[in-house]
Structure 1
Amino acid sequence: MPAEEVLALPATWMRGGTSKGLFFRTGDLPAESAARDALLLRAIGSPDPYGRQIDGVGGATSSTSKVVLVQRSRQPGCDVDYLFGAVAIEQPLIDWSGSCGNLAAAVGPFALQQGMLEDAPADGIAQVRIWQANLGERIIAHVPMRGGQVLETGKSRLDGVAFGGAEIRLDFLDPAGGARPLLPTGRVRDLLRVPGLGPVEATLINAGNPTAIVAASALGLAGVELPQALNPDVGLLARCEAVRAQAAVAMGLARDAPQATRERPATPKLALVAAPVGYAASDGRAVVAEEIDLLVRMLSMGPFHHALPGTGAIALAAAAALPGTLVADCAGARGG
């Protein structure tokens, strides 16, 4: 690239929960959306027909191909605005339709490191009031401070992350509120008519992110399979996408299934659920049925997710509280 075409921009590569993303101050990017997205795509390394994002900072998974834009907020009672983009790996697309609950944990530290809060304590816990701009929701991050700096080290552990770190607690305020109805169809269960599969029962819910929940058995799965065994099955991924796309139409998020696949691969999320049984986790650890209430495997931007999206946990918890949903029935299957 000629020297005159090189553009230097400040950015921070950060982990939040089980995800990583490239963080920017909103004002450092072009205001026009097409120019902004083109720059962000190039920084991450998309589109990459090889699916590796070698010429960019992306990690070639849905959990590591993400961008976050943060700025001081004009929303009453909020400190910063948080805008999230899910970057497709092989397509020139950034889906701005949803949020990332894991990366929300890094928004507070980024804002503090960038000096966006003027009254943050030098020691103790800084409360960062976040406006989640994609969905119009509020989050409060509780960020530990020491000596005027964000505390990064600690003993807090998280499944899916190899090392411990400082604990950052998040309060999602009314994640099923706002302009979106909790049940977009008004029903706890809907019947999706999916080409190639026929009728598939689903719970469609707006909480955290728009999410479609179906029984793992509807896709021929037991619910204990790991992503490394599932993702090579392109036929299974295609069937899951067909379900997700029909759910998008039923939820009023797309006019038809092709548009859902083409324009908004990030939402709705798709969760496959089953009643609790024992299984082996990705790290080989044995998990017994008595330790859990529900088996869940979710998909993100096409493939199966390596962990559980933070917004997915919110959607599942909300569904579990509603009698008659697939989650409530699965979680109550053992009589707990």
Structure 2
Amino acid sequence: MDLARDGLGPDSVAGCAPPLDPELALAVQALGGGVVAEPFTPENLAARQARDVAVRPRPTVRELRDGGRFDVDELCVPGPPGGPDVTLVSARPAGLDGPLPLLYYMHGGGMILGNAPVVLPQLLREWALPLEMAVVSVEYRLAPRVRHPGPVEDCYAGLVWAAAHAAELRIDPERIVIGGKSAGGGLAAALALLTRDRGGPTPIGQLLLCPMLDDRGDTFSGRQMAGVDVWDRTSNATAWQALLGDLYGTPDVPPYAAPARATDLTGLPPAYIDVGSAETFRDEDVAYANAIWQAGGQAELHVWPGAFHGFDTFAPDAALSREARAARTRWLRRVLSRSAAA
């Protein structure tokens, strides 16, 4: 849709946002009535990052072991050429010998926030235990302290190391799923492209949860959800500027930074893509699934009606959140079953 042609400026587009699911609307009200109270800007980014480090949980290895339910180790492995070592947090259900399939996971946070251990309790509870799989969460460097390609190269270096040290990790290097949420989903998509093009480890699937894929900020949903979604186009532009630096706003942004710019999506592992109907990333994620199909690939797409960005984190007990988590688990189970039968 052409906004100017249809007489829809940014203000009128934002005024026609899709209705929220009733349960999720209650969660949004608790966040401030649905208005983005304090979007990220270049001016407040440093302060917001410092605040996040101070308040965001960072579970210890001992806490993650949960009284012996899980085997957990923090590993320091070689990073990308010329870069520092990369920290990986490796975890698996205790008592399972292996080799287990691996979920290689990248945390969210807009490329500017977050840490590797914080995502593990949920991943271990929801997927590692019922599916009998190992999880490795990667501590990639954050922007703007490190610009592209630093973060995705950290992720690639960790993936290559994990596959090469499969015996040490007690994993099956032929059964690796790469995944992530939001910025982590974007990194997972970029990693699928990067390892394909470099001939690196071949994942059996890519789990892309509300992935951050497009730096250009020109989608209809980006304008539609401006000032409404919990992660809106102001915060999104700030994060992309932090990651890309002087590349931001140019036609030279590579697909390994912004996978929506990829022109060749052939030869990628099957993808699971989900997103909310009422979030900034809706249109870029739908377009990415469509581009995979057009390239002859496999993608399972879910657009959760009335869901905002990260809805299942903010409202984990809502019916829609439970349904979304169940759909992801079913996809993972199918992918693992097919790989075991191959």
- How high is the TM-score relative to the length of structure 1? 0.26
Greater per-residue helix proportion: 2
Which structure has greater strand proportion? 1
